[in-house]
Structure formats: structure tokens, C-alpha cells
Structure 1
Amino acid sequence: MNILKKFMDSGSRPELITIPSGQFNLLRSKSSPKAALECIYNNATLSVRKVGKFDYELAVYRVEDDSEAGTGDEAENFDDDTISVLSTQSKKKDEEWSVEISDKIMFHKTWDKQGNIALVWENLRGDEQDEKVQFVVTPDVSMSDVEQFIQTVYRCQYEARNKKYSLTASADDLKEIEYRSTRLFVQDDDADESDSSSDDFQDANDLSFERQKDKNDLLNRTPSPLKKIPEGENRCLMMSSLYVYDPIQETFVLQEPVAKVAIIDTGKYEFWLAIEGKDTRLGTQVAPNINPTFELVTDAFLFNYTLQNITLSYMLKFKDLDKCIQFRSVWVECLWMTLNKETWKDLPEMEKDYILDSSSVPLEKQFDDILHLGESPREKKDEESSESDSEDDDEENDRSKRIISSEAFEEPKRATSKGNSSLTIAFRNNRSYVTRDNKIGVFKTDDEDDSLEFVAAIKNVSNLSGESIDPHKPMLYMEDRNLILTDGQSENKLYKMDIERGKVIEEWTTGDKNVVQYGPTKKFDQMTPEQTIVGVSQKGVFKIDPRISGSNKIVVDESKDYVGKYNFSSIGTTESGYVAIGSEKGDIKLYDRLGIRAKTAIPSLSQAIKYITISADGKWLLATCESSLLLMDLEIKDGKNAGSIGFLKSFPASENVKTYVLKIRPEHSAFILTYTKKPISFTKAYFNTGIAQREQTIVTSTGPYAISWSLKGILEQDGSRNYPYRIRRYNGDIVADNFEFGSDKKVIVALKDDVSLSKVKSFKQPSKGVLMPEASLQDFYG
């Protein structure tokens, strides 16, 4: 739709602009004895029609659909109310309703209680006082198209009032028309609201759009207290603009030019985010599940809002960076207290600084085409074009490389199967191992044609007593010839399997230590004959050596237990054998060797550490949390230990570990949450890995989405709107994914029933086409 063309064109075409689908309703005042809302046309179009020089009208056309054909009694009831609803003109032609566009109609935009855009104006032909009509726009019409329609109406209103072409109108002229129409309706709504006790703040009902003539002055004002919010102490009270993400056009659209924003302490370490404009009320708990994201380069705070299984993305845009940082400080404190159930003021100053510093690292440090780090701009552009042209071929090739696990394991699919549960990548050869129930599938990659082939299946995995076990947490061991397993039940028992024989050949116990996680003593030990491994229990870290006589294989002098329950949850090692341990609380300890105190203790960001991966040289640590990844730079930058790493020396008091919080942006996670109906839950994240190979790419997954990050994309910032991650959607949930050893170009993906080999270049910039099937966009609106 081109508004300029329509107003410069003097042709005879009567319709200037049209909204192709919606529902047309009558709205009566609360004093009316009749129903407050009555449907006039269940399916209709709304147009602006030219009827003369500087004269226009709104025209609603009825579109008959199956639900309206042959309505019987409903049609009779409709005819009884024709005079009040449609006036005399519509008795003659009930397929159309029209009204002259003028200042009298008070045309404006609002939102109905289902979250759909509604265009409302005065019913000048009605019999009752204060009647209005509304056109509820169907969700498949984009917000930008609706905004263009609204601006067209205001231009028509300007021409009708001033009898001159709207091309001469200034932006302030059009804003004045919009402001006047909206203000009068808001006053009416406020009067109704004072008599209503059913309007619930957190339902986010009756959202509407309002622009005011001098937004900056209003943003500078000290806001008055918000209405209808939970009782409690205001931790902050500020002004901002409110935007909502349009999933059709994939852009943020202004919802409220000026809104009050408050964070309220409701007691018991719980806090409430409240947002209130003239017609907009939103409320949500301060919690990580709303995917809070600060974009300091634009002075903005983004978050998700879920209502009736529909997730929207909102953005608060503050007047300047100082206001944004002020809000961020309060948000971070309240979120930390919510997650830890402790008082912020009791936290050591160094830990406070670390938490605030981590939250202030810009999360969107993007640049163009992040996955092709060494290419020239021309090469990148050419390859992107080539990828786009061959996308269908790539998809077809990947389908041919995908192997259905149950068929590869030589058994028909069974409804009782739990599906694939883990993926383990070999370092010495091109093998991969996928666990499924009590079986292990062996696959190999073929570098010549980039295919994945099934090799063999190890069936009926059992312990030394012959009892069947389902293998858990497999780890390759001793030159990739063995696997270390657990059975998922005995917390202090490990099994050693000979892969060639396909049998468990040893069982080890760890005494009174329950094994939470374990890994190689050094990062590349699986390529060597090294027999020791390291592990963590909930309150300690230990080394296991199977050569120790007796069933308990713990190396006592290289183990350490802590007083109390630390809830250790994860462990990772470097090429030199430095060790990092994460906890459910979210803190991380760094050791140069076991059996001694940690060299560095990294405070918690209030996110449980599920997994840890470390770069070979120990400079980078990658922690997997539930809905985010933490990328930590462990190199000391200042003081006498500058150039060393946190495994060997402690960070000085003046320096914190630089931590980058990686997460899916709220506007993208809104697609994911609406499509999957599940929260984001990352699988273990990995760096690309190889001997003497630099780590430069990260891969993880959530639900059916495989996601890759570029380290260079994270570390560099150019202010662009590209994203440092790319995504690929699969047809089922992903169990695990990891790079082929020695490469950052290919990723092996284990789904519940499939195993796939995919090229990283097949991952795409996040968009609605990537994140949601086209057919599912309607589901976005419920």
C-alpha cells in the first residue's frame, strides 16, 4: 500500500486503501439495556473511499462465509435491530455500511481483550447515545499495514477539515488529529473504568496506541503513581516508550509513546514489573522466564509477555542511557533477590560489581555474516546468494543424509521406545555414538560426500551380572576404544565398555560419593591411553583411577570435599588438565589441579550451571544454563598477573571475569515459545574442537532448533541489527548436537528418532520463516 501515490493520484478509483479482513461490531454504552457488543458482520473488509474533492468515507463491506450462510434465527434477530445498528441506509443495502470521514467520528486504534487490533469510531447513525462501532482486524494483517491505513484516515480527515491536499500537512498536523481523537476516547474510558471492578492489571486488556505532541517533555516528568497494581514498595518509578513486536513484519511498532514503568516489591523476595500508559496496562513477575534483555546501545529493555499460550515481545525504550542504566540496576538487584532469596545489600561489593558488569555487556554485538570469519565482503555476499539459490537442494541433501535411528538399529519403531538420548563424538576416527534405550548406535561421517552412515548397533547393553541397563552419560575413553557409562540409577557406580566387543568389561564404584558428572582428566585424553578421569559429587570434586585395588576407585589425595552441600553440577577440563566446576547455585570454581583450594571463584549470576566446556588453552569457558549461555574470558587483563588465566592466578580485586550472556532475543524467542509451547532449554553447548585448532564457533540447541554463535560476532560490535547467532529448525526435538572433530563447518545432530549431518552454512539468520512454519503463523495469535 502506497499512501503517497493514493493522495497524488487524481484518478477515478474510489477505494484508496483496504484492510482485507476483519469483524465489524457495534459497541453500546454500559447504560444501554441491550448487549454491550453485537456483531454486525462476522467477516468484512474496511476501505477508505473517495466520494468527492476533499471528501472521503469509511466503507465496511460484508463478506459472506460459511458461518453466515443460512443463519436462520440469528438472521431474524439481526434484522430486528437494523435501525439501531445500521441506520436507514443499511436497511436498503445490508451488505455495506459507510460513514463520512470527519472530526466527528473520532477514529482511533485500540486492542480487544483477545489482543487483536481494533479500529473504533463513533456510530453517528445510531439510535442510542454514545454508540460506537469497531472493526477487529484479523491477525494475518500486519501492524504496519494497519498503521498505514490509520494514517490514511487521518490524512482524509485533514483534507475534509482544511479543504486542501494532505501533502501539505506536517507531522504535527496529523499527530494533532490522532491525539485529539485518542484523548477524548481515553477520557470516556477512564470514566467507565472508575465504575468497574473487573479490570485486572495483569490481564493486559484494552491496549491502545497514543502519541502525544511533545514526548520528550513527558518522558522527563516525574511520573505519578500507577493505578491497579499489586501492593508493595516501589523500587523504581520511571517513564519510557513502549513498543510491541509485529511478528508479520518482524519489527517493533510503537504502542505507547509515554508509559509509566515501575518495579514493585511485593514481599518474600518477589517483585512485579508494572507498565501503564493511557490505555495500556501490562504486568509480569520479575523472573528469568520472560527473557529479560538489555540493549544499551538503543537505551532499551526487551522482554516476553505470555497470555493464553501466545508469547509477545515488548520493548521499553528509555529517554537516554542514564535512565536505562538506572532501570537496569534495579532490575538486576530484584532478579538476583528473586532467584537467591537473599538480600542484595548483604552481597559483597565485588560480587555486586561482577553481576552488574555482566548484565551490562551488550548482548547484540553483531556484524554482517558472522559465520564466515575469514572471507572478504564480496565472497560472503556471493556465497550467501549461492546458499539462497541452492537452499532447496541443501535441504533435500540433508534429508538424504538423515538416518532414522530405529531403522538403523535394525528394529521397527516401538511406541514404548524413549528415543535417542545422547550423542558422543570420537576424536581419533570419524565415529559417532548415539544411545537409544539399552542400545548404542555407531555412525560414521564420509568427508568425500559429507554423508552420515550407519555402521553397527551395540544391543542389549548389560552389566557384569547380565542385567540390562540403559546407558547414560557416555564418555569415550582410552584412544576411543572404550566408553564410560552410568545406568541412570546407581549414583556411585560407573561402567567401562569395550566398544569392539560391545560389552561392559569393568564396574567401578566411588564409595559414598554420588557421581553427578564426570569427564577426562585432560581435554584430549580420549585420544590417549590415559586411564584416570575426574568427576563431581554434590559437595566435592575427585579423581578416579581404575588401577586402584578394590571396588572404590577414588584417588584420595587428589580429591576434595567441601563442608556443607555445594550442589556441584558440572565439570570441564583444559588441554593441560585445569579444572572448572559449576554448581546449581550458579557459581564456578577454577583449579590448576585437584586436591587444593580453587585459584578463582566466579560469583553466581543466579543461573544453575548445567554443563561446562573449556577452550583447550583455558582462555574461554562456556557454561550452559537453562535459557542462556555464559561465555567467560578467563584471561587476566590487569595487575602483576596480566596475561595469565584464572586457573593459574586469582583475578585482582579491581577486575572481574568478563562474562558475555548469550541468549535468544525476546522477539525470536516469542516465535519459539509460541510454536513449541515449551520454554527454552539449551542442550550442552560446545566449541568447535580440534588439535591446535582455534575455537571460533559455538553450537547448542533447544527444542527443534539448532543454534550456532560466532565468537567474533559476540566480541565485535558495529551497531548493526544482525545477530551473532544463526538457527536451523528440524522436524523434531534435538537431543544433542556437536561439531565433527577438527571442523567448525559440519554439525552432527541427534534428534529423538533421527541422526543428521548438517553444514553450518545451512543455518540461517533468525526470522519468522526460519523459526515458524508458514502455516503456523496463524497459531501465533491463538
Structure 2
Amino acid sequence: MNIIKKIMDSGSKPELVSIPAGQFFLLRPESSPKSTLECLYNDATLAIRESGSHRFELVVRKEVDDTELTSGDGGEDFEDDGLSVLSGQSKKEEEWSFNLDKSLHFRKSWSEQGEVAFVWRNTKGDAGEKFQFVVNSEIPLTDVGHFLHTVNVCEYEHKFKKQPSTATRENLRQFEFSHRHDEEAISDEDGDENDENNEDSQLGSKMGLLDLGNSSSESDDGFDSQEFEDAKDNFGSPKHPKQSVKVPNPPSAKTLLREHAALLVYDPTQQQFSLQDPDCGVSILDHGKFEYWLQINGKVLELGVDLTPLVNPFFQEETLCFIFNYSYETITLSYMLKFSDEATFSEFQQQWSKSLWEALNKQKWSAISEKEQRCISNANRDVDKELSLFLQDDDDSSSADSEESDENDEEEEEEEAEREIQSDVDSFDEDKKEEEYRSSTTLSGNKSLTVSYKNDRSFVVRGDKIGVFKVDDENNEVNFVTAINNVSSLKGRNFEPENPMLYTEDRAMIVQDKENPSLVFKMDLERGKVVEEWSAGGKDVLKYSHSKKFDQLTNEQTFLGVSGKSVFRLDPRISGANKLVTEQNKDYATNNKFSSLGTTQEGFLAVGSEKGEIRLFDKIGLRAKTLIPALGEPINHICNSADGKWLLATCDSSLLLIDLTIKEGKNAGSVGFVKSFSKEEMPNIFVLKIHPKTAAYMRTSAKQPIKFTKAYFNTGLNQKEQTIVTSTGPFAITWSLKKVLKGEKMSYRIKRYNSMVMEDNFRYGSDKNVILALKDNVKMAKKTGFKEPSKEMTRQNNWNEFLELSEKAAKRRNQ
């Protein structure tokens, strides 16, 4: 969207440039008795226009829909009329104007949700009040940068009363406030010491101890439209914090390892790690009861974290570095330990891996076999060292096709990104049925997404209703079709359906009621009602799956299920309520806490557990051919490749991509479903996760830890799996299998939405289109619309402000 209007007339005052979509807010200081955040216009434009010789105005204009009321209650943004003390103009006027000069301290900032925003002083209101214009997410970053540059140019012309064509970058820098905190800039001229001291004390109490000691370097306020790359491991000059994070040693801790390493912290504004302490003591401590602690003691900084996947641990073997996240309140920082030699790094890696495994599994490392220990230890190794065997499976022609596909994707990327609108305002058709469907389930929101294979429909559970959607290929949208209302049992009891699974050529759906896990219900989608209820002989049916991967394309009646300690087949054709097939039922003596299952095209079955173990079966009722040991996290979901060579397991903070092809011995070439691995060999496990520096941004902006939704391969008959999709919080994420198998561990791409992504999956038969169920919307995204994580971080980065605020707080404490 091009925002430059090039002297288009607005009455007698020509507009120079505008941001055509956004929200307009009033920001009050925390000391104000009124709300600190008030939305003035929910749909507004921001523009600059000439108001005289060398004079300009900043104009905020409300966008009025033709259907809005022109008078009376409900059609206005304010509750009362009269003159506003904020601007001296009527509260009901649809335009706000401000003389554009340096006194506004106009700057680029970020909203609490991490969205790009413009902020400026309210020069006619109470002390400390500011205005905020949150830019719509569809506006290109280059346009945001151009608008800010135009503001600086106009302020230059107003101050010096001459044309700005000869102004240098240094001339314009005096009008930039994006790298100076607003209150600090105000105090330079107005002496607002009270406001500043109040804010300083609040900051000190919240995050003053997290000062990084990095002075913000000034940079161009415009955005570079070129691709950004993830930061290399460039180490800046030593920058020592003025304050340190003091974390006491846990009491009665036993030291398992003590080494030395340099400590660095990631600065996303510079896209690099900056040195904090060249020589720190690094210890792993045993607190007892399988609780472990990483302690770092340096001359200028001390910190510590629990050994848990929540810190997003990541080893870079090529650089002898270990990266992890440290969270404090709502802020997450990404730290790096750089070891001096390979032996020290290796010893730390082994101790960390062993201690983390014990913490997750609550048992001693020595309790498992050496074979299992090797499998677990190798799971975090560099991917590229083990992938040549798989890559040999691809013939030259398929490899060439894949490369050509990737090149085409890259060519389409920018064009598609500009076309696609990722606004999360409701885009449903305004028909009566849809409004009833949405309004009656507002509090529930969307829960799950099920994609049809047969008829290009998607089903979204929302309360006790199921919304039906279809793809509009012409407009690249997902449109509402109808709703199945008031899902209820045969006895008429309403319930919220869970674990939906399409069935018998997508004409029926299997669902459950969480209040009665021993039953499953068959819903006739053509009639929109439950028509049968089935049980598994008294077992709780925790999860179920098709007997074969593509059974929903057929009229196959049977399907598979698991309870905490059983794997079984159900056949609805058996008379009576109990549909358990006795001959195909495997009961274990102990509760293995089975939690997930998935099948291949031939009907091989993988079963995951809360313990993190995965069992591979060729037939139900027999012992598992292969047991893959637990890395520690529960297995929440399983997706198999059609040929059974690869398994994708979803854990909370990572995905496990498991190579099931046997490489050695008499069974070489078979898969772990059919034959057992030799005594010396175990499946290769490749752990896919978000890099700590990206995770730090995601955790801070979403205010929640990484927790992946169900991950899927793209799916289609006779189609090779090429891409993985999952989500966490408001972020949808894809991995390119081709890049992963070439050793590019950080090959993921991200697309951020303004609401939670509840579930996402590929459209059947393609890896180009992703269907997403947001909390209150259903959308389709092109794979080319996903961006590299550094671009997301650059787009909505609230770290600049944190660094400046913490540095300011440290300076005041030292005075």
C-alpha cells in the first residue's frame, strides 16, 4: 500500500504524506485518576499537511463508515460533548490537528502488544500525557520509515524557515526522538523532574537490575526493505552493566561442574551478541530431588536459571557456544556462554544434557542403557552431520524440482506479502447465520481446526458449535459456510466437542465430550447432529486416529485409540455399545500414560506418551517393534510421513523430527515400524526449536512461554512431505524440510497475528497454503507470506525502549 499522496488536495491544504490505517489513543501517566489508555478512534488515518509558509500540521482523522450514526447515542467515540481540555476542540469532531514542530517530540515507538506506533506529547493537556497512533499491520515498514523522515524534514523547515533539500542527515538528527525516552527529552526543556523521578522509581523496582550496559547506538529511523539475516556471532566490545542481577546459590547445592566462559547478551537493535563479562565462573548445581541450577558468577554480573526447556537451551558446536534465555517479570533476555576450548564445551554440554534429562524424567541417568544414553545425547547434535544418508534417497530430478519450487517461492514472496492483509479484525460475511454463530460463542472463541481431505472444507470448534468454512481461491480467503449448532449427545445433553476427526469420506466426524472420556460420538455432518455413541469396553479413550493415514478419503469404518495403558482398534459394526476389537487390543501391565498416536499410509502405528517415549507398531495387539526413549518432554501430537520413514512429534517447546530408517545390520533399509533396530543402533532424533534470541522476542511480546500447537507435515496422496507447520501464541511457524535436511537448523519462518493462533494446518494437497484458526477468526496464509524471524523482530521490537529505560534508570541511581 502506497501512502504517498504527493500533494493531493484536502480542501485548500495539500497533504504531503499519510498512514491510511491505524488506531488513535490517549496515553495518561499512571498517576492520573482516569484510565491510562483511552482509545479515541478505532479506525483512523495519520497525515501531514501544509498549514502556511514553512508551517505544517500533524492531522489525525477518524474514518467514518457510511453506516455509522451521524447523531445520537452509540455513534460517537466520546460519552459527552463540549470542549476537550486535551486539544481545545470538540470531543465529537472527527479530526485532531497539531502544529508540527520539535516540541511534540514525535517519535516511533511500540504498543504494549509490540505493534509499530507513533507517539507524541499532548502539549495542551495534563503533564505527562501523550498521544499514540498504532500503525495497522498491513502498512509496509518502508512507508513507516518514510513518514517519520517526512516529519523530521517538516520540523527542520519550520525551525530554520528554509527548504530542507540541502539538509544533511546530521541536520535532521536533532529532530529524532526514537532513541531517546520521551520523558527525558521533555525534561531537557521543561524540567519535568517529578514525572521523571516517579517513572525512574517504578522502573527500578521492576527491571532496573536487568540493565545491560549497552548504550543505544543511533541509527536510521527508516526501515531497510531488504531481507534481514539472523545475527551472526559477532561480539561487540566489552560493555559492562552498571547494575547486576544478583541470584543467590540454592541452599545445600552440590556442584556437578565448574568451568569458565565469556558471557554475552543478545542486543536485537544491533543484531549481535555484546560481551558482558570476558571471564565468568559457570557452575551446574544439584539442588536435590532432581532439581538442577545453572549459576554464572562474574566480576560485574551474577545470574542463575533452572535447568528446564523453558530457557530454550541451544548449543552451537561450531562456535563452542551455549545460548539460553533469562526471564525477569515480562522481559526475556538471550544470553550466550562462549567457551575457550572444545574439551570444556563438550564437558559442559554432556553435564547439561544429562542433568536436564534427569530433571525432566525424575530418574537417574545411570538407570537407562548405554544405547538409550547415546540416542538421547545425540539428539542435540548438529543436524548436518547425519543427513547424507537421507539426502541420497532423493533423486536428482526431485531435488531439482524442490530447488525450483523454493526459488519460485522467493520470487513471489514480496509480491504476495504486499497483497495479503493480515489484519485480524473479523472478516466473516455479515449474514445472519454467521453473526448468530459468532455472537453466541464469543466467550468460548475458536478451539481447534480440522481440515477436510475430500471436499475442501475446514471445521472449527467454537463452544458447543462447529463452524464450517471453505476456501475462496479467487480472493485467497476462508469464508463461512454454515454452523452446526448445539452439539449434543443422544440424550440431549449439550457439550463442547473435543478431538474432532473427520471420517468416512469426510461425511461424518468423530468427537468427544471431556466430561465423559469413555465415550466417542459419531456426528453426521450432512444432518448436523450426533447419530451414534460408542465405547471401548470401559476404557477411557484419550486419543484416536484413522487406521491408515488417508482413511478419511475412504469408507473405512474402523479406527484406532489409546487409553493410559492400552492400544486398541474400534469397529462400529460390532453389535452393542462396546466397539472394542478384542483380537486387536494391547494392554500393558503398567500405566505408560499414552497421550498421542499417528499412522502411516500402510497402517503402521506410532504411539507417544506423557513420559516422552514413542512406540512403533506394525500391527495392533503385538509388542512394539521399536521403543524410542524419552528426551523428557511429553509427546502431545504425532504426524507420520506417508511412507513411514519420518515421524514428527510435537512437544511443548520443541518438535522432534525422527528418522525411522534402519541404517545398519541385517534390517538395513527397513523402517522401525516393521523391523527392530540393532543392539547398537537407535533412530536419529533431530530437535527443532526456536533459537533463543527469537524466543526471547516471542516470549516478551506474547507474554507467555513457547508452547507449540500440533505440528503437521503437508499432506496429499503421492505427494512428498516438504514443509512443517505449527504455531505458538500469536505466531504461525513453518520449517522447510529441504533446508533442515541440509543442516540449516534455524530454517523456520514466522508470521505474526494480532490474536492467538489456536491451531493451523496445511490445506490438503499443498504446502503453499496454511489454514489458521485464530481465537475469533479463520484465515488462510500463503507460505510466501511467512518471514525470517529477524524481520519480525525488526518490525515489532520493543527492546529499544527497554534498553533506553533501563540505562536511564541506572544513570539516575548512580547520581
TM-score normalised by length of structure 2 = 0.67
Unaligned runs of 5+ in 2: 1-105, 108-127, 129-182, 197-206, 221-235, 388-397, 807-815
1:745 to 768, 781, 784: 768
Partner of 1:696: 722
Partner of 1:300: 321
Partner of 2:434: 408
- Measured after TM superposition, the shift of residue 286 of structure 1 is 1.2
2:733 to 683, 707, 731: 707
1:671/1:772 contact within 8 Å kept: no
Q: 2:297 aligned with 1:202, yes or no?
A: no
The residue type paired with residue 115 of structure 1 is: L
Change (3 A) 1:742 1:113: same
1:724 to 729, 737, 747: 747
Say which SS state the counterpart of residue 584 (structure 2) adopts: strand
Task: Determine what percentage of the aligned residue pairs are the same residue.
Answer: 45
The residue type paired with residue 331 of structure 1 is: W
Partner of 1:447: 473
Change (3 A) 1:480 1:334: same
Partner of 1:285: 306
1:391-438 Cα offsets, whole Å, 9 max, x none, are 332226998977799973634535752111111111112111111111
> How far apart in 2 are the matches of 1:544 and 1:663?
36
Say which SS state the counterpart of residue 759 (structure 2) adopts: strand
> How far apart in 2 are the matches of 1:113 and 1:358?
38
1:630/1:660 contact within 8 Å kept: yes
2:246/2:301 contact within 8 Å kept: no
The residue type paired with residue 699 of structure 1 is: V
Partner of 1:65: 186
1:347 to 362, 368, 378: 368
- Measured after TM superposition, the shift of residue 765 of structure 1 is 0.4
Q: 2:493 aligned with 1:467, yes or no?
A: yes
The residue type paired with residue 731 of structure 1 is: N
Partner of 1:759: 782
Say which SS state the counterpart of residue 549 (structure 2) adopts: coil
Partner of 2:344: 323
1:365/1:713 contact within 8 Å kept: no
The residue type paired with residue 723 of structure 1 is: M
The residue type paired with residue 584 of structure 1 is: E
Q: What is the correspondence of 1:128-147 to structure 2 with a 5 Å cutoff? A: 141-142=216-217
The residue type paired with residue 750 of structure 2 is: I
Partner of 2:283: 262
> How far apart in 1 are the matches of 2:702 and 2:385?
24
The residue type paired with residue 759 of structure 2 is: A
Say which SS state the counterpart of residue 114 (structure 1) adopts: helix
Partner of 1:644: 670
Q: What is the correspondence of 1:149-168 to structure 2 with a 5 Å cutoff? A: none
1:574/1:615 contact within 8 Å kept: yes
> How far apart in 1 are the matches of 2:571 and 2:581?
6
> How far apart in 2 are the matches of 1:516 and 1:360?
34
> How far apart in 2 are the matches of 1:770 and 1:642?
45
Say which SS state the counterpart of residue 620 (structure 2) adopts: coil
- Measured after TM superposition, the shift of residue 441 of structure 1 is 1.1
2:615/2:625 contact within 8 Å kept: yes
Partner of 2:513: 487
Between 524-533 and 346-355, the greater mean CA deviation after superposition? 346-355
- Measured after TM superposition, the shift of residue 306 of structure 1 is 0.7
- Measured after TM superposition, the shift of residue 569 of structure 1 is 0.4
- Measured after TM superposition, the shift of residue 644 of structure 1 is 0.1
Partner of 2:209: 114
1:273 to 287, 294, 303: 294
Partner of 1:252: 273
> How far apart in 2 are the matches of 1:408 and 1:646?
47
Partner of 1:502: 528
> How far apart in 2 are the matches of 1:365 and 1:245?
30
Q: CA RMSD in A?
A: 3.6
- Measured after TM superposition, the shift of residue 776 of structure 1 is 7.6
- Measured after TM superposition, the shift of residue 63 of structure 1 is 6.4
Partner of 2:359: 338
Say which SS state the counterpart of residue 186 (structure 2) adopts: coil
1:568/1:582 contact within 8 Å kept: yes
> How far apart in 2 are the matches of 1:607 and 1:117?
32
Change (3 A) 1:402 1:777: farther
Partner of 1:556: 582
- Measured after TM superposition, the shift of residue 116 of structure 1 is 2.6
- Measured after TM superposition, the shift of residue 355 of structure 1 is 0.7
1:477-532 Cα offsets, whole Å, 9 max, x none, are 01111001111210110111111111111111122210110010111111111100
1:240-279 Cα offsets, whole Å, 9 max, x none, are 1111000212221122222221111122221111112221
Q: What is the correspondence of 1:374-393 to structure 2 with a 5 Å cutoff? A: 384=410, 387-388=413-414, 391-393=417-419
- Measured after TM superposition, the shift of residue 771 of structure 1 is 7.8
> How far apart in 2 are the matches of 1:379 and 1:754?
30
- Measured after TM superposition, the shift of residue 778 of structure 1 is 3.2
Change (3 A) 1:363 1:340: farther
Q: What is the correspondence of 1:666-681 to structure 2 with a 5 Å cutoff? A: 666-681=692-707
> How far apart in 1 are the matches of 2:258 and 2:519?
55
Higher relative contact order (CA 8 A, sep 6+): 2
- Measured after TM superposition, the shift of residue 654 of structure 1 is 1.3
1:144/1:249 contact within 8 Å kept: no
> How far apart in 2 are the matches of 1:707 and 1:364?
25
The residue type paired with residue 202 of structure 1 is: V
Say which SS state the counterpart of residue 444 (structure 2) adopts: coil
Say which SS state the counterpart of residue 778 (structure 1) adopts: helix
The residue type paired with residue 756 of structure 1 is: K
1:336-362 Cα offsets, whole Å, 9 max, x none, are 111122111222111111110112244
> How far apart in 2 are the matches of 1:558 and 1:649?
20
Q: 2:579 aligned with 1:544, yes or no?
A: no
Partner of 1:617: 643
- Measured after TM superposition, the shift of residue 231 of structure 1 is 3.9
TM-score normalised by length of structure 1 = 0.70
Between 295-304 and 589-598, the greater mean CA deviation after superposition? 295-304
The residue type paired with residue 686 of structure 1 is: Y
The residue type paired with residue 359 of structure 2 is: T
> How far apart in 2 are the matches of 1:313 and 1:406?
49
> How far apart in 2 are the matches of 1:676 and 1:562?
41
> How far apart in 2 are the matches of 1:72 and 1:761?
50
The residue type paired with residue 740 of structure 1 is: R
Say which SS state the counterpart of residue 781 (structure 2) adopts: strand
> How far apart in 2 are the matches of 1:772 and 1:507?
50
1:420/1:435 contact within 8 Å kept: yes
Computing the radius of gyration from Cα coordinates, the structure with the larger value is 1
1:314 to 325, 335, 355: 335
> How far apart in 2 are the matches of 1:603 and 1:376?
33
> How far apart in 1 are the matches of 2:611 and 2:463?
31
1:683 to 690, 705, 709: 709
Change (3 A) 1:358 1:510: same
- Measured after TM superposition, the shift of residue 563 of structure 1 is 0.5
Q: What is the correspondence of 1:159-198 to structure 2 with a 5 Å cutoff? A: none
Change (3 A) 1:750 1:364: farther
Change (3 A) 1:746 1:398: farther
Unaligned runs of 5+ in 1: 1-19, 22-41, 43-61, 76-111, 120-136, 146-173, 190-198, 204-227, 367-371
The residue type paired with residue 289 of structure 1 is: L
> How far apart in 2 are the matches of 1:116 and 1:393?
41
> How far apart in 1 are the matches of 2:628 and 2:603?
19
> How far apart in 1 are the matches of 2:673 and 2:404?
41
Say which SS state the counterpart of residue 560 (structure 1) adopts: strand
> How far apart in 2 are the matches of 1:574 and 1:436?
30
1:588/1:603 contact within 8 Å kept: yes
> How far apart in 1 are the matches of 2:195 and 2:787?
50
- Measured after TM superposition, the shift of residue 672 of structure 1 is 0.7
